[in-house]
């Protein structure tokens, strides 16, 4: 499985390098007609799936309306969580051919780019747009490095969401969403006896997403948050128990799907009972069929905090950056202003299935699941996502991904724990 996945990334990168080499005329000009008078702005992201692509389109329409002299070049790279996009981005940055702006997860993920000197600080935008007045302090603190801010957050996502099909649970005799890891394992066994898929899962990164949820649910919020400090304990018995829980839960997973969307669809279609995924799945479930599945909440799908994590909001934030040497720096700044704006975030987030990073957004737009998320974000304890870049940098995240990939082949808990402890030690923790 691991070798096929790496080969697929290599093939994808080769094709994309060829594609981006052809993405526009000289000096960012369009190739012909009226477009020739417009300067191109290359926006690099991984938003290609239903829901996320619709949100990007909504923000693009605002950008082009406000900037008639600019043309938006969508350089999105397919693949949930952005693993393939980041691999290609590294190639572009090393070749000194950065996009005008690129998506990154706020937090530790950006540290590698900052240390390499790939990013400009955007403090000037925070001053000009008075963003410190409308972004939560905990978010500002997370994205500030040595007094500088290097990204503009567009949203807040919740990572620890258990999505489930009420009808499948009823058929299995499961009364409702399990609240603990132990209840979850019991429910998975009950669903298995019906012949339905107990737990749907996607491509390799979704297993790491599942792992972070199991670690939080098994260890508890305080111990989980200590994993990213000098007081971390990756080798102790509590971690062993958490990884044994992960092993047991993974034993109920169905055939891995190509990415998170087909895995989520198994739940919506009644083929599977559970899926643990971030709340971008809500946009996919809920949006009309041209941009999602058009399903009905509380009937076709429902949600709850991942088992053991109630009262904690495991968060991540999509953001955009200003690369040094951006071919169209002014165009990138124009995009960042839209991404930071109330109008841009209110157009983007309801379609994406996320809540705004700004605190002054139009709350009437955020209903159903999104209303729950807004309430929990302001009242819950916080924990940062592993897979989505809040608590670990790219090198550490890659090491965790590799350890989980090997575990999916050999199911050896002891080796997984040793590999995770070694990855933490290499990171300096």
Closest CA to 290 of 54, 97, 56, 125: 54
Closest CA to 311 of 238, 216, 223, 392: 216
Q: Do domains 35-154+319-364 and 161-314+388-426 have the same CATH topology?
A: yes
What's the farthest any 2 CA atoms get from each other in the chain?
A: 67
SS3 for 367? coil
Q: Give the Cβ contact number of residue 160 at 10 Å.
A: 27
**What's the token pair of residue 416?**
């997984």
Give one DSSP letter per residue of 310-334, joined into a string.
TTEEEEE-EEE--BTT-TTHHHHHH
Enter the CATH code of domain 161-314+388-426: 3.40.190.10
Mean per-residue pLDDT pooled into runs of 10, the chain (429 residues): 37 42 40 64 93 93 98 92 88 96 93 94 98 91 91 97 98 98 98 98 96 98 95 96 98 96 97 97 91 94 98 96 97 98 97 94 95 93 94 94 97 98 89
The 3-state DSSP composition of the chain as helix, strand, coil percent (nearest 5) reads: 50, 15, 35
The pLDDT score that the predictor gives to residue 22 is: 38
Q: Please tell me the distance from the alpha carbon of residue 145 to that of residue 205, in angstroms, as a whole number.
A: 27
Closest CA to 304 of 138, 153, 175: 175
The pLDDT score that the predictor gives to residue 304 is: 98
| Chain centroid offset of residue 101 CA | 18
The pLDDT score that the predictor gives to residue 27 is: 41
SS3 for 255? coil
Domain positions in the chain are 35-154+319-364, 161-314+388-426
The pLDDT score that the predictor gives to residue 5 is: 37
317, 106 Cβ separation under 8 angstroms: yes
Closest CA to 387 of 326, 316, 335, 324: 316
The pLDDT score that the predictor gives to residue 313 is: 96
Q: Give the Cβ contact number of residue 113 at 10 Å.
A: 24
Return all residues near 70 (Cβ < 8 A) that are at least 6 apart: 38, 39, 40, 41, 63, 64, 328, 331, 334
Closest CA to 106 of 382, 374, 371, 305: 382
Name the fold adopted by 35-154+319-364.
D-Maltodextrin-Binding Protein; domain 2 (3.40.190)
Count of residues in the chain: 429
Helix axes 204-219, 181-192, angle to 10 degrees: 130
Helix axes 181-192, 237-250, angle to 10 degrees: 20
Start-to-end Cα distance in the chain: 30
C-alpha dihedral, 392 to 396 to 400 to 403, nearest 10°: -170
Helix axes 342-352, 52-66, angle to 10 degrees: 160
């Amino acid at each position: 499985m691991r070798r096929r996945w790496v080969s697929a990334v290599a093939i994808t990168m080769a094709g994309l390098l060829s594609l981006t080499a052809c993405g526009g005329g000289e000096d960012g000009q369009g190739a012909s007609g009226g477009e020739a008078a417009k300067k191109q702005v290359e926006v690099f992201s991984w938003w290609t799936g239903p829901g996320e692509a619709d949100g990007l389109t909504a923000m693009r329409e605002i950008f082009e309306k406000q900037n008639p002299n600019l043309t938006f070049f969508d350089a999105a790279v397919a693949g949930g969580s952005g693993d393939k996009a980041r691999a290609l981005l590294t190639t572009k940055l090393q070749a000194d051919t950065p996009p005008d702006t690129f998506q990154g997860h706020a937090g530790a993920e950006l540290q590698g780019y900052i240390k390499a000197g790939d990013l400009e600080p955007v403090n000037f935008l925070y001053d000009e747009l008075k963003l410190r007045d409308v972004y939560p302090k905990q978010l500002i603190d997370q994205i500030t490095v040595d007094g500088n801010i290097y990204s503009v957050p567009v949203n807040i996502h919740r990572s620890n969401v258990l999505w489930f099909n009420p009808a499948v649970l009823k058929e299995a005799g499961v009364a409702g969403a399990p609240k603990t890891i132990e209840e979850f394992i019991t429910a998975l066994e009950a669903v298995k006896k019906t012949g339905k898929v107990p737990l749907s899962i996607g491509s390799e990164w979704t297993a790491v997403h599942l792992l972070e949820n199991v670690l939080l649910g098994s260890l508890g919020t305080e111990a989980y948050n200590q994993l990213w400090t000098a007081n971390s304990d990756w080798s102790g018995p509590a971690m062993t128990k958490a990884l044994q829980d992960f092993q047991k839960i993974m034993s109920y997973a169905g055939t891995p799907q190509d990415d998170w969307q087909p895995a989520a669809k198994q739940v919506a279609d009644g083929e599977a009972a559970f899926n643990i995924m971030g709340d971008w799945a809500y946009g996919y479930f809920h949006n009309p069929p041209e941009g999602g599945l058009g399903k009905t909440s509380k009937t076709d799908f429902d949600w709850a905090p991942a088992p053991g994590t109630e009262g904690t909001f495991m968060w991540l934030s999509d953001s955009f950056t200003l690369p040094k040497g951006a071919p169209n720096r002014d165009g990138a700044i124009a995009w960042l202003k839209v991404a930071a704006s109330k109008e841009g975030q209110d157009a983007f987030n309801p379609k994406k299935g996320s809540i705004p990073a700004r605190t002054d957004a139009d709350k009437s737009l955020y209903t159903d699941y999104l209303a729950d998320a807004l309430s929990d974000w302001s009242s819950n304890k916080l924990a940062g996502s592993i897979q989505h870049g809040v608590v670990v940098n790219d090198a550490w995240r890659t090491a965790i991904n590799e350890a989980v990939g090997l575990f999916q082949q050999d199911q050896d808990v002891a080796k997984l724990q040793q590999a995770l402890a070694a990855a933490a030690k290499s990171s300096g923790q």
